[in-house]
Amino acid sequence: MPATTAVVRKKPRVDQSARRDAYVRTAAQVFLDKGLHTATMSDIAVSAGAAKVLFYRVFPSKEALVEAVFERVETAIQAAYEAPWDGYGSMVRRVLETARGDPAPFLVVFRNCRGGPLDWEARLRVLLARTALPLFAPGPNAPAGAEVRALRAAGALFGLFTDSMITWLEEEDGLTDAERIRWWGRMVREWRAATREAFQLD
């Protein structure tokens, strides 16, 4: 009889980026369901259907996974504010649209960004203030110190932004997204005018 040749089947290549993305999505949902500080790496690995050893190869610690969840939100906000401006409320609309596709990371970050041991509040405040700075560029006749005042003014909506995003993602206000963005746009327009006057930026 002729010798049979064993068929060697190659294992399909694993898309490491897709795997990492799936783990971050799963982690965000587990953090949302169980609490950011209560959920364990074991909880997340089980929810992801992954062997712990494989899971730890991608994320060696819970801190690394928590940071990855934050970076997902940070990157989305940055991308939204880097897109061309097309009216008051347009930047926030882009953040909301992105968050609608994957709300868990945004809810985890916005619910946990104030107080506590994480540096999320400071990082988000800097990011949001930087994105709002164009609204507060000091005019040529502004009194001395206008640049510092402009930075403070740009950060003034931090709390309202995070609270609004939570409310919108949880659908707690009875509004449509179009109504929410119209409200935000009108409010920011008035807030900008009043804040420029109060902070002496013109």
Please write the tens of the pLDDT for every residue from 4-48: 565 555 555 667 888 899 999 999 999 999 999 999 999 999 999
- Alpha carbon 152 to its chain centroid, in Å, reads 21
How far is the CA of 119 from the CAs of 56, 112, 125, 126, in angstroms? 24, 10, 10, 11
The sign of the CA dihedral 189, 126, 131, 105 is negative
| Residue 45 domain flag | yes
| Residue 88 domain flag | yes
Residues 79-97: what's their mean pLDDT? 92
| Residue 4 domain flag | no
> What tens digit of pLDDT does each residue of 147-180 get?
999 888 888 889 999 999 999 999 999 999 999 9
- Domains of the chain: total: 1
| Residue 3 domain flag | no
- Domain with 25 in it: what CATH number? 1.10.357.10
Predicted local confidence at residue 11, as pLDDT: 54
Range of the domain at 89: 16-198
> What tens digit of pLDDT does each residue of 50-60 get?
888 888 899 99
| Residue 67 domain flag | yes
> What tens digit of pLDDT does each residue of 122-150 get?
999 999 888 888 888 999 999 999 999 98
> What tens digit of pLDDT does each residue of 178-196 get?
999 999 999 999 999 999 9
CB of 198 closer than 8 Å to CB of 150: no
